[in-house]
Amino acid sequence: MVHEVPASADTLPDTLHRRGLMFILSSPSGAGKTTIAKKLLGEDRELEVSVSATTRPMRAGEVDGKDYHFVSQAEFDRMVEDNEFFEWARVFGHSYGTPKGQIRAGLKQGRDYLFDIDWQGTQQLYQKAERDVVRVFILPPSLEELNRRLVGRGTDSADVIAARMARAQAEISHWDGYDYVVINDEVESCFAKVHQILEAERMRRTRQTGLIDFVRELTRG
């Protein structure tokens, strides 16, 4: 038996074309940004990571080309010279930058990019790509908890942790330069909120470039 297809089914596209977005997550280190970023990438197929270049040494467990592109200072300087970065900054005595690479073309094709960068990088990206950028700031529930998480991570020396704690206060003072602020007191609920922000931003009318044709078809005749 042949089932009749409802008339509306032919007009309903699987997915409307939309422009991708640049989803920025910032927080003082230890506030849970990396955990949230990993969960987002694991659960959301439309999101890919923007891999920064850095001159800092690789940490145990990190992979070149996945966590960062680990480059020499000379190579980094050449990339700056050749205008290959959207933005770059010096952090903890090392250089970090966001390569333009495929991002511009990917946005047109509807790919979303996740950026794990600090407030300075966020400001620079926002200046260059205001309409594509969504800025989310993650706050720790308290400084005591932040310190506990940094020590528990076991990847950094006491000196580095002290520097990160000092820097955390400065970083937190930039909370008002973000579109959304989420307090990470519980990782699952923080993740759910961040994911909802991403989903809602995808539905923004101005990103849904396929709407014009869809609505034209919808209202035809």
Q: What are the residues binding ligand 5GP (CB under 6 A)?
A: 29, 52, 56, 87, 89, 91, 96-98, 116-118, 120-121
Q: For the CB of residue 188, give the shortest distance to ligand 5GP in the complex, in Å.
A: 23
**Comparison of 70 and 214: residue with beta carbon closer to ligand 5GP:** 70
Residue nearest to ligand 5GP (CB): 121
Q: At a CB cut-off of 8 Å and minimum separation 6, what does 28 contact? A: 140, 146, 164, 167, 168, 169, 171, 172
Q: For the CB of residue 187, give the shortest distance to ligand 5GP in the complex, in Å.
A: 18
Q: For the CB of residue 141, give the shortest distance to ligand 5GP in the complex, in Å.
A: 19
CB 107 within 8 A of CB 209: no
Contacts by 67-74 with C-beta closer than 8 Å and gap 24+? 68/96, 69/99
**Comparison of 46 and 84: residue with beta carbon closer to ligand 5GP:** 84
**Comparison of 120 and 208: residue with beta carbon closer to ligand 5GP:** 120
